[in-house]
A and B are shown apart, each in its own frame.
Chain A
């Protein structure tokens, strides 16, 4: 199946950039990864969870450290389990803890980084930590792509089920409560879903940049959208464009793909601010 796909890509794409198989794989990876993150990002932005997901991304270091400690064969599974538990723990302490949410999240963020660095730098080398910090989408293989495709389908399906109650509770939790929405449950499921998506993506995108892929397209789209469907559509379009343009730019400049993708998304964000001002999108 992959061969047929590669052949099709050879027909459609300029061979000068996408001639190599790793470039095709990277392109496919970005096309699979960015839309799910962009969809989830719309709600993360609406719920003011940008800082939360940042802390969640940082916890991947600790998750990888835990995987190393356990000697687990499947690193991604450990990352996902760790990420889900970490996300639920932050949510729980935000609800019950004394300090404000931003303080709690900051504590979790630094703890995750520190714990990860301690575990990963055992033996005196930072190589394991730094590869996770930056990620490398050019190293992705056909098997990983299959998993990303499964994740995209599963993630979008879960997102379809979760969205309406989550939207109501994002507008106002009491209102959602009065309509029988199990507010806590849907919020917990949402952070779990974000955790899974982030952990699946993090090996390829890196701890430092993952949150940008979640937040930037959705934030740019929010500047332009009037309605929820527009927000989702624009966020996905911006994320896909950033992915493709970023990959091409990185190839041309010989720089990090993840960073180039994020920079593209940042340019879209700047443009969205400009367009919002010119068109006076407010109501």
Chain B
């Protein structure tokens, strides 16, 4: 299935990208990106570095101006009145020495009471419930700077899940996380996709993970080069063209 054929009515709630282009002064970062990401599905964006994956995510997040259309549609093709996007960044550069617990961070995002005055019992419960969504409940009283990479990503996932998003965006969420942490993170995401019926867009470079978890793979290299299942994309000429030094991960399965 070629990318430009993907634009058609599908009868599912989804986020629909049609002819999305992002320019920065003279440079065209991405042009004419077309993609449907369905609710309840994990769509993985792959592509070479500098190919525009993160730019595309930032367009969807509304952080960069773009041309074209990004629509959030329900089953009847009606646009959502309000769309909530949860976002887990690739890495969270922050001051590791900051006196700040996981509880403080979540309470500052979820409640109005200023965190320096303390966290109420009710807010504690809300924070705990939120952390439980991402299997991070044991981390509530830890200091943020003392978390491992995988633990931090689960805390950020929990934060992205509250309030419940319509679209979850994960930008290489497990790069640099140990194997066990990766599996835990992705199993959590996988379960959420089914339970909460949200659309998930994830950037990943890990072909093994892509094959295991992706419902749909989109190869982004300045534009949508190829959209399909992992096997279809890995076997395509476009993939070989974008990753000339990768010897067909699709063929070794």
Contacts and interface: CB of A to CB of B under 8 A. Distances in A.
Interface of A: 39, 42, 46, 48, 159-161, 163-165, 167-168, 170-172, 174-175, 177-179, 221-222, 225-232, 282-283
Given A222-B99, A225-B99, A232 B116 contact: yes
Nearest to B112: A164
Given A174-B89, A228-B99, A167 B146 contact: no
A159 B95 contact: no
Contact of A231 (B99, B117, B159): B99
Given A172-B92, A229-B116, A178 B100 contact: no
A228 B104 contact: yes
A165 B110 CA distance: 10
The 10 A-B pairs at the shortest CB distance, nearest first, are namely A283-B146, A232-B116, A225-B99, A178-B87, A163-B114, A228-B104, A164-B108, A231-B99, A160-B114, A227-B101
By secondary structure, the A interface counts as: helix
Contacts of B100: 167, 171, 227-228
By secondary structure, the B interface counts as: mixed
Contacts of B108: 163-165, 167-168, 228
Given A164-B112, A171-B94, A172-B92, A227 B117 contact: no
Interface string B101-127: 101110111011011111100000000
A137 to B, nearest CB: 26
A159 B114 CA distance: 8
Contacts, number: 96
Interface residues of B, number: 37
A160 B113 CA distance: 8
Nearest to A176: B109
A172 B92 CA distance: 7
Contact of A282 (B63, B114, B118, B146): B146
Given A167-B108, A178-B86, 10 more contacts: A161-B114, A163-B114, A164-B111, A168-B105, A175-B87, A178-B89, A225-B99, A229-B116, A229-B117, A232-B116
